[in-house]
Amino acid sequence: MFDETRWSAETLARYFKYRTLEEIQADAIRLQLSLRFQTDLSPLLEKVRVAGRMLGNAFCVQPMEGCDGTTDGTPDELTMRRYDRFGAGGAKLIWGEAAAVVEEGRANPRQLWLHANNARAFAEMLRRCRVAHRTQFGDDSDLLVGIQLTHSGRYGYRRPLLAGHCPVLDPRTIADKSTGRCVESSDPLLSDDELARLVDHYVTAAKLAHDLGFDFVDIKQCHRYLLNELLGARTRPGRYGGSFENRTRFAREVFQAIRAKVPGITLATRINAYDGIPFHKGEDNIGIPSKPKSPLESAWGTSAVEPFGPDPSEPITWIREMRSLGVALVNISMGNPYASPHVIRPFEYPPPDGYETPEHPLIGVDRHFRITEAIQREFPDLPIVGSGYSYLQEFLPHAGAANCADKRVTLVGVGRATLAQPDFVRQLHENGRLDRKRICRTFSYCTALMRSKHNELGQFATGCPPFDKETYGPIWQDALQKKST
């Protein structure tokens, strides 16, 4: 059904050769990283208070898009199945995936889009998730389920909807699919009036989410989508660019409007704390960085003079203000999935169209942990979700437990690994360890499917072909077959 030799950890792993905690800890020390692991997993299973609610444990399922909605943005059967599995899996915070607030803001033609005509399907998705949780655990009063509201901006699937120009991203952003022309500095940006009108769409989606029973809405500010791009739009003219006050203005207006018109919903955000710079394939397919001009003018949370150096000062200032706006839950991410995937999700193998990692993946994990810790230390009473755990495979819970015990983070967010083993929290409860036969090996099958657009719908559904073979093995084979014809 798929090429098993490609993902065999025993034969192909180049970095992850660890069989014991001592081995991975020794490599972390050799690389001078601040990674720590512990065998006492109890910090992960303790209750956590979030927005006045008590969660049953410290695990979060990250917003994992399946690219499997219908063409009008409605959750389809594979979407429903994913949330059935998440609900039964045991994590007490389920961070629902991205749902666009307008059709043109979708990143692909099968991305979810929440609107009045399909609200019942979202309600059914949420109901099934909660029923699955109650069936497995008897109660869902300690479960929090939210939804991520998004606008893809530069990465809108129909055409780029630009918040700002970026001299290193523009030349690799397709403006016209028919000709392959990339964005040019003369291409227009979304106007201030167009941005201002979008605020009402966020409010409408948030009200729908609240009425449907979602516990929180995430105003997405990561991965160089619209709101993240605005945060770094130092060269944009007008009221939404230039100064820090202007660059945060749009998100501020969204939070204020939702809080005024949907007071019962909890506000959350998944935000980049570090954008970094784009990479591309170099010799031997190794990723090499682009060469931006100095000072860097379009990257958020990034040193203006050293683009490999995070600078969390503005993200910290913005999080402090967001708290005053009512934001009660923050999820930290970084990088750009289209231009610096190794920063977002340290991997063993890239997808077929990607570059090989330019650094040991443990360095990427450590970057996630260090930046998240800096923010958590600044806001010790704010629930912070950390990212970057999946690469650690069977040692994921040991790192998460150490980070929680050391108060480097409040909740451990798990992304790709939930597709391979959605019941990972239940495994820890029942066995004290993960099922080694179903652990995500970060070989990027899910990413490869997400990037596959060559079918009649313009997008293949994504999941884990190696460990969810019956469902996604045929989809993977279909993608391979259509690619070769």
As a whole number of angstroms, the distance between CA 218 and CA 147 comes to 6
CB 394 within 8 A of CB 42: no
Question: Given the structure tokens 């990692």, which residue do they identify?
Answer: 357
**Burial profile 94-110: b = 16 or more Cβ within 10 angstroms, e = fewer:** bbbbbbbbbbebbbbbb
On whether residue 352 sits in a domain, the answer given is yes
Q: How many helices (H) and strands (E) does the chain have?
A: 17, 15
Question: Structural domain of residue 367, as residue ranges?
Answer: 40-434
Rg (Cα) of the chain, in Å, rounded?
A: 21
On whether residue 413 sits in a domain, the answer given is yes
**How many domains in the chain?**
1
pLDDT of the residue at 283: 87
**DSSP H or E stretch at residue 281:** strand 279-281
**DSSP H or E stretch at residue 289:** strand 287-289
- CATH code of 312's domain: 3.20.20.70
Q: Going residue by residue through the chain (485 aa), what tens digit of pLDDT does each one get?
A: 333 344 333 334 579 999 999 999 999 999 999 999 999 999 999 999 999 999 999 999 999 999 999 999 999 999 999 999 999 999 999 999 999 999 999 999 999 999 999 999 999 999 999 999 999 999 999 999 999 999 999 999 999 999 999 999 999 999 999 999 999 999 999 999 999 999 999 999 999 999 999 999 999 999 999 999 999 999 999 999 999 999 999 999 999 999 999 999 999 999 999 999 999 999 889 999 998 888 889 999 999 988 889 999 999 999 999 999 999 999 999 999 999 999 999 999 998 889 999 999 999 999 999 999 999 999 999 999 999 999 999 999 999 999 999 999 999 999 999 999 999 999 999 999 999 999 999 999 999 999 999 999 999 999 999 999 999 999 999 999 998 77
On whether residue 152 sits in a domain, the answer given is yes
Name residue 247's amino acid: R
The three-class DSSP label of residue 333 is: strand
On whether residue 444 sits in a domain, the answer given is no
**Burial profile 19-53: b = 16 or more Cβ within 10 angstroms, e = fewer:** eeeeebbebbeeeebebbbbeebebbbeebebbeb
Name residue 429's amino acid: H
On whether residue 480 sits in a domain, the answer given is no
pTM of the model: 0.96
On whether residue 454 sits in a domain, the answer given is no
Cα dist. 108→105, 160, 162, 315, 459 in Å? 9, 12, 16, 28, 7
As a whole number of angstroms, the distance between CA 259 and CA 267 comes to 8
As a whole number of angstroms, the distance between CA 350 and CA 348 comes to 7
On whether residue 210 sits in a domain, the answer given is yes
On whether residue 26 sits in a domain, the answer given is no
